[in-house]
Structure 1
């Protein structure tokens, strides 16, 4: 059963994910449209072919249903009768002449060694096939034959056939259960072939008939096979890492020959080669790797064979660059060319990629091939470290081939007016050249007009955006001016109100603007229940908050500020011309104490996570102790100087970086975050220690506690119980209460500044010595906690299991919604983080339960009382944090006092 609030919420979010109304988002989408149009225009005019395939997009029907595949290209080993010939094996198609499908003469045998019947499709050229569809025969109710199981064989040249198998080695594909429904099956790994055979499997008592369709796109690389040394195994910290090409369809020994595999499957390896896109795969699955010790000459040689002579412009190689584990991309690529069966040409192309000693992310390296003509390429990739790993290789060539997605129908039957050997797929009618040129000119004019309209739309959108931002600045600045005594940084309070265009470095949980969320008054028209209980809505009573605040009651995220207002206060202008101007304003006034830290004194230790606009790294900072004494109060300084070894000892810090390719909005948001973080001074809030802003790669350096985040810390402990003995580390109940009290203290400090965290959870709390707790914000950027966030069509991410009902349904983020999240965090701590909140619910069920909280009819499900949590603490504090009426929830001051009494 689905509740109306959830249905409205889901439809609303899906619509917002596909439509964009805010100014910044419209600009981004429009800019992408311009790039796509320009890119398509260049391809159309220059007849250049984009060779790199994307399996997620390459899913076009190849023509069995639509008739693009001709009858003579569909053959079979046998047929039951002329009315069940191979040409009738087209999925979801019945022209009335035949009996509605292909049926073999001999019943398919379940025995692997028995006779094999097949339906063969000739695609006329190499294609990248990612999906197959099958259907049985019903013949207008006169038949009921279908294939319950089948196999697939494929060939690139028509002579050498390969049996397809999935990544687990299974060759049999589950087919149909009736004669009517179409069953689609993804091919993992995909197939690169010209000829495809469907081979039905059934017992002796069953007659089978099939109709089929293939989905994919033309294989524009033209790569027929590659040869390379077989991948090797690595031992990393006792872990076996297998770097072999597991789906290679050629012969495999010491050398892989005459086949294709993982290097052409369209799947790119992750930054960390120990992880894979494939669920349950072994470490190193996505990569093919070799160690320098096995190659005395210091390079790996790979040979690529193509279907014909081509004019090659470049080769793209996806490499791992995790140098902290002894892996780097190749140091040099030297490629030789051959146009026939003769010897290799003596003139080679050599390329030295730039060395990256900072980022360990995997990346594509483009090797220019200088428009060389060849049907085979042999490349030697020189080692740059102990290991070299590759996950994908793609070639780009220029020519006159037409990109064929098989979307243009062709007439059924035999082609006419073709000379022997001509391919109807690539047939060009030269008699209509003038008409074609006229059409091209018309298309170019239309595209130019579209580009002009898009650019004009962007200009107007930016103008409206600036006007609305000024209005919002004035209104919120007047309101926040009342709280100057509560803000320790009241001189910059103007900057904390502008949230309408911010893209937080934290990958913002929700876009907080009036166009991205419906106000309750709009929802009343759609959901009558809102009208009945409007007075009970948390925070929806009479409020002076402007509509642009979107229900957040004027309280900004604690890690956001307004760089535009910052500029205005420092320079008297809301515009800036360079990063240097922004940095000067950032370090002026009270910010002058936030000094620049030398980047060369940071030593990379570990990558903690990756967000939408940057990365978080664990680093050692030399000389940071003396630096801290100048910038932070004694209370914070004492907490940081707990490491042994004195002031010269390197300090572990978290370094948050902004990507070099980040846009202006992301850069502004990053500087806003520095602005706010530099003002926070509390022993239970992670402090900003220093910045690196004198170059384009912006960094902020914050504390990092030696015991990591609270979620991982508690999950590795058990409650101290004298009746049980275990080698696992223990923690006492009083320690748990102390942790909760410290989190409440930090949140009390944030609430005193009217700052909303919006993602309070154990994953966002760090643990130091003596169970010291500090609130941070790294959780969302870590792959470890991706399961804690609900993703909407790959765009918005929501920690729904920690969110209040009004945050999910109404988009309202207030101090009261942080109190709700604190109750869930308290529950996590009392369960020692052994399970996820509402672990028995799916994400959809969690949102449905939110609808019950809105109804308040006693059907909502609460998190159960943890075993070690006293009944009084559960009923008075936890359940109090989850009250439906936000005004009835305790404040953080009250929570802190109650926990202090429990601790005493």
Structure 2
């Protein structure tokens, strides 16, 4: 009951905070259509330089996803020269927005027309008067558009745009008429930051290597003494730097790219001064600054920051000063939260004092709420400054009404919680409490890593094995959604009783099949009658004793190169293993030069890990030591004689398949044959696991690793769940599941079998043939995904299947994919049949 009351208090607190406090944008989730397609953007907010006729006016320049009506579009009257760019379609978003993606489409008029923009540029403005031409991180301004009048072409904006006004400007050689329909994707820019002014970054020479810390995407002006003014750039692009500033999230950029940095010797006063200007007067609660702290290279986070505030023409006399705690141990980059004491201002000037030779920042964000004042704003210390009485009365009235509504909500929630507790006392949930989702440890990022700035300092991993496509989390908590389905909300008690008496069912599979990742064997929750529900599917007698070839590797021959990630109980490192080739037996030998150290991935268990974590770690070693297949990541050696416990595995230099396919450098050169060849390898690996009666339970492209020459290997190691950020989390002790990859019986009944792995393979094949451009069922919310599984159960023809990928032949989609998603698990093909069918398609 105390927990429920805490939940209610939390809801009330969040609602109250929502009235006054506005937090900054979350770039991972900031990909929503802003209203051209849905009509939220009104006709009067869409304008253009010219148009052919009334039927091709600006208001018709709305992208059309749904009905395919291609008659309307914006078409300029007279096209400009390629370098003139006088014609434009302009969208007014009414407020500042963080824009991450744009979509364009042509005009076909049901076969009567064929007009589209092959290339275009974008200009944007935050105030409507000063316009900036967008360019990517390599300085290119031209965006490749449409190749026909039908398809929608989506383009990620890297860097993203912060603007209110956006102009689409077609580029043409006059060989064809141009028409455009557009959509913008992003979210509201709640920071309210209009510009920052800073000294331009400096150049470091580190061991003969040129390291540049300039703000390469700044969209303002460069004034005298290398001052950057009236613009935004890398400090607001939603990407923060790695622990080692020589490396970058961005592919093929110079060392230091993710940071803006300064040398102490260039500032006689010992500090760097930054000025931040906002859209209106705000009440500031805090500022968050992402700093590098690699003191071994002369870089430390700032020693002190002093911030001044201005609401009118004069700076206030009393600044806010903050000194962060000195960290002489950890060299990890981190966010530092600077409390601003609810000060009111429209401009903030902060002086960051050096504590070493170099100071590097990669992101700055503010938490603030709108301040309510009369139009004649006076300085903070002016005794004549007053709040308008009428506004005060209105504000008090609104607050009283909000408090009354909150009290009513609290009463209703408390009543519902008590009532539900009485109804559910006789039957405990077992569906999601007995299921757990598992993560892969090696998910290499090839592109920019966006992360929520609202995360507290130190709460996230700085792994270079990260997810790049900013989608919603892959793993969800489905039980509350399942209970909305009448068939299952009334059968919870029956399933709960069954789970206590049926170990095979509690294990998630009617056949009691063992799992590929033994780390799934964990107790999740203790019920009120002290009985523990746990997953106990693997018969450890099957793995009695570690494989004889799995010998103790001398840990002094491991040389640390890079920390790849960090989990709750362990870390993963990239290491060089000296003499590994000679150490391995013939059945474990891998490609490499015997005279050179071998790159390996080393997973370590922290010495302070609890007993359960140690047992899981050792069980995982016992299982992996017995797996021998070309398409399964192999365990090479162990270090378990002393703490910390270590397991040494193959290092797959090209990272995970999801990142590999979605990166533009690779998917442009991948043929259909290559993609099917990847699927063949995954099917081969799964055929091997199924021959051992193993159930994987989390098959997806994120859990398949890529080596040389498009070699694919399945990996699903258990301990480092936090390495795949956003993919695995727990809510109040409940398990979370990859529901978009799971069969209906796995979600609704908790059954995991080889047939449910076949279902997941069908989704994985769909990912491969769509080049991982979107998440499965991206058009459906989590609630709708659960409801769709209910339609599979009811089998009334209302279930929704994943659509056929554009490059997928009918025989692969109809004969293979759809067969993997059959309702009757016994009618789904085996992995032997899938492997043979894919090989036949390549013949």
TM-score by length of 2: 0.55
Mapping of residues 98-113 of structure 1, within 5 Å:
100-109=72-81, 111-112=82-83
SS in 1 for 2:20: coil
> Cα 1:859–1:614, aligned 2, differ >3 Å: closer, same or farther?
same
SS in 1 for 2:201: coil
Deviation at 1:555, TM superposition (A): 9.7
- Aligned partner of 1:91 in structure 2 is 63
Deviation at 1:364, TM superposition (A): 1.6
- Aligned partner of 1:79 in structure 2 is 51
The answer to whether structure 1 residue 378 and structure 2 residue 349 are counterparts is yes
- Aligned partner of 1:200 in structure 2 is 170
Deviation at 1:154, TM superposition (A): 0.8
Deviation at 1:45, TM superposition (A): 6.0
The answer to whether structure 1 residue 136 and structure 2 residue 79 are counterparts is no
> Cα 1:861–1:458, aligned 2, differ >3 Å: closer, same or farther?
farther
The answer to whether structure 1 residue 61 and structure 2 residue 33 are counterparts is yes
- Aligned partner of 1:285 in structure 2 is 257
Which stretch of the first structure deviates more once superposed, 547-556 or 391-400? 547-556
SS in 2 for 1:190: strand
The answer to whether structure 1 residue 146 and structure 2 residue 116 are counterparts is yes
- Aligned partner of 1:777 in structure 2 is 647
> Cα 1:809–1:209, aligned 2, differ >3 Å: closer, same or farther?
farther
**C-alpha distance in 2 between matches for 1:215 and 1:143:** 27
- Aligned partner of 2:149 in structure 1 is 179
> Cα 1:504–1:136, aligned 2, differ >3 Å: closer, same or farther?
closer
Deviation at 1:294, TM superposition (A): 2.9
Mapping of residues 504-523 of structure 1, within 5 Å:
none
> Cα 1:241–1:99, aligned 2, differ >3 Å: closer, same or farther?
same
The answer to whether structure 1 residue 765 and structure 2 residue 743 are counterparts is no
Give the one of 805, 808, 815 matched to 2:687: 805
TM-score by length of 1: 0.52
Deviation at 1:304, TM superposition (A): 0.6
Mapping of residues 288-307 of structure 1, within 5 Å:
288-307=260-279
**C-alpha distance in 1 between matches for 2:169 and 2:133:** 10
Deviation at 1:74, TM superposition (A): 2.3
Contact 2:70 2:150 in 1 (8 A): no
Deviation at 1:458, TM superposition (A): 10
Please provide the CA RMSD for this pair.
5.7
Contact 2:133 2:141 in 1 (8 A): yes
SS in 1 for 2:647: coil
**C-alpha distance in 1 between matches for 2:34 and 2:657:** 40
SS in 2 for 1:221: coil
Give the one of 271, 286, 290 matched to 1:314: 286
Contact 2:121 2:168 in 1 (8 A): yes
SS in 2 for 1:777: strand
SS in 2 for 1:47: helix
Aligned length: 568
Deviation at 1:223, TM superposition (A): 0.8
1:374-405 deviation digits (Å, cap 9, x = unpaired): 1111111222333222111111112379xxxx
**C-alpha distance in 2 between matches for 1:78 and 1:429:** 45
Deviation at 1:142, TM superposition (A): 4.8
> Cα 1:835–1:335, aligned 2, differ >3 Å: closer, same or farther?
same
- Aligned partner of 1:346 in structure 2 is 317
1:30-70 deviation digits (Å, cap 9, x = unpaired): x99x9799468624665134332122312222233333333
**C-alpha distance in 2 between matches for 1:92 and 1:503:** 38
In structure 1, runs of 5+ residues without a counterpart are 1-30, 402-427, 470-499, 517-543, 568-572, 576-603, 621-652, 660-665, 678-684, 686-745, 769-773, 794-798, 815-824, 863-904
**C-alpha distance in 1 between matches for 2:93 and 2:645:** 59
Which stretch of the first structure deviates more once superposed, 546-555 or 157-166? 546-555
1:568-595 deviation digits (Å, cap 9, x = unpaired): xxxxx999xxxxxxxxxxxxxxxxxxxx
The answer to whether structure 1 residue 235 and structure 2 residue 205 are counterparts is yes
> Cα 1:86–1:322, aligned 2, differ >3 Å: closer, same or farther?
same
In structure 2, runs of 5+ residues without a counterpart are 373-393, 444-473, 480-501, 533-558, 576-601, 663-680, 697-704, 715-760, 770-811, 821-828
The answer to whether structure 1 residue 855 and structure 2 residue 727 are counterparts is no
Contact 1:564 1:574 in 2 (8 A): no
Contact 2:234 2:363 in 1 (8 A): yes
Which stretch of the first structure deviates more once superposed, 756-765 or 388-397? 756-765
Greater helix proportion: 1
Contact 2:264 2:354 in 1 (8 A): yes
The answer to whether structure 1 residue 669 and structure 2 residue 620 are counterparts is no
> Cα 1:383–1:429, aligned 2, differ >3 Å: closer, same or farther?
closer
**C-alpha distance in 1 between matches for 2:355 and 2:110:** 65
> Cα 1:554–1:115, aligned 2, differ >3 Å: closer, same or farther?
closer
Deviation at 1:152, TM superposition (A): 1.0
Contact 2:682 2:712 in 1 (8 A): no
> Cα 1:440–1:227, aligned 2, differ >3 Å: closer, same or farther?
same
